[in-house]
Chain A
Amino acid sequence: SQTIHQWPATLVQPVGSPLSLECTVEGTSNPNLYWYRQAAGRGLQLLFYSVGIGQISSEVPQNLSASRPQDRQFILSSKKLLLSDSGFYLCAWSGLAGYEQYFGPGTRLTVT
């Protein structure tokens, strides 16, 4: 069966510090991968998605970036965090058709 992992589960970082969140998927090949963010009390906002290694599409211009160095690995990064980057970050995967997306446990990021 397929499993999606995210780490860390929680993170507290000062403004201006770098960020690296990792997501890995097991039990499937060639998944579509997604990064979402959910601000407190808000809906989910898609940040990036990827249909293959090295292929990244950005939905919202901001100080975040994403990379997909391996088929089942998706990384979210920032060189300098802003207060507004605080939120609940979710990684998800889907098959090629994308009918069903499966979400990871999420990382709760607090920027202080």
Chain B
Amino acid sequence: DAKTTQPNSMESNEEEPVHLPCNHSTISGTDYIHWYRQLPSQGPEYVIHGLTSNVNNRMASLAIAEDRKSSTLILHRATLRDAAVYYCILKSSGSARQLTFGSGTQLTVLP
């Protein structure tokens, strides 16, 4: 699976939008972009995934660059409960195997 690059940490104010970037310049045509988050002392939680088009769900939006070499996870209104480590992961559509977790972005939400 191709590698992703994320900032180590980001801060946001409560009730403001948050844009979490992810670079994946070596992405292949069959790689899906997944986002998970991990709250303290909990297992990771699936957030969203996409292939080429932007995706929206109840938790977040995923904006994918036209060349697919980068993507952005958008939390529309950050809450204190959104403070977590956010992981951007590439996974081939043909693989039923592991998710390769990098170091992720630690999001701090300020009240």
Chain A contacts to B: CB under 8 angstroms? 32, 34, 36, 43-46, 49, 51, 57, 59, 88, 90, 92, 94, 96-106, 108
Contacts and interface: CB of A to CB of B under 8 A. Distances in A.
Contact of A34 (B42, B93, B98, B103): B98
19 contacts: A34-B98, A43-B102, A44-B101, A45-B101, A46-B98, A46-B100, A49-B96, A88-B41, A92-B43, A94-B96, A97-B96, A98-B95, A98-B96, A99-B49, A100-B46, A100-B49, A105-B42, A106-B42, A106-B43
A43 B46 contact: no
B98 A103 contact: no
Label chain B's interface by main secondary structure.
loop
Contact of B97 (A98, A104, A108): A98
A99 B32 contact: yes
Given A98-B96, A99-B32, A99-B91, 20 more contacts: A43-B87, A43-B101, A43-B104, A44-B44, A44-B101, A46-B98, A46-B99, A59-B98, A90-B43, A92-B43, A92-B44, A94-B96, A98-B95, A99-B34, A100-B49, A101-B44, A101-B99, A103-B43, A104-B43, A105-B42
Contacts of A43: 87, 101-104
A104 B42 CA distance: 8
Contacts, number: 56
Interface size class of B (residues with CB under 8 A): 20 to 34
B45 A103 contact: yes
Contacts of B98: 34, 36, 46, 49, 59
B96 A32 contact: yes
Nearest to A51: B96
B32 to A, nearest CB: 7
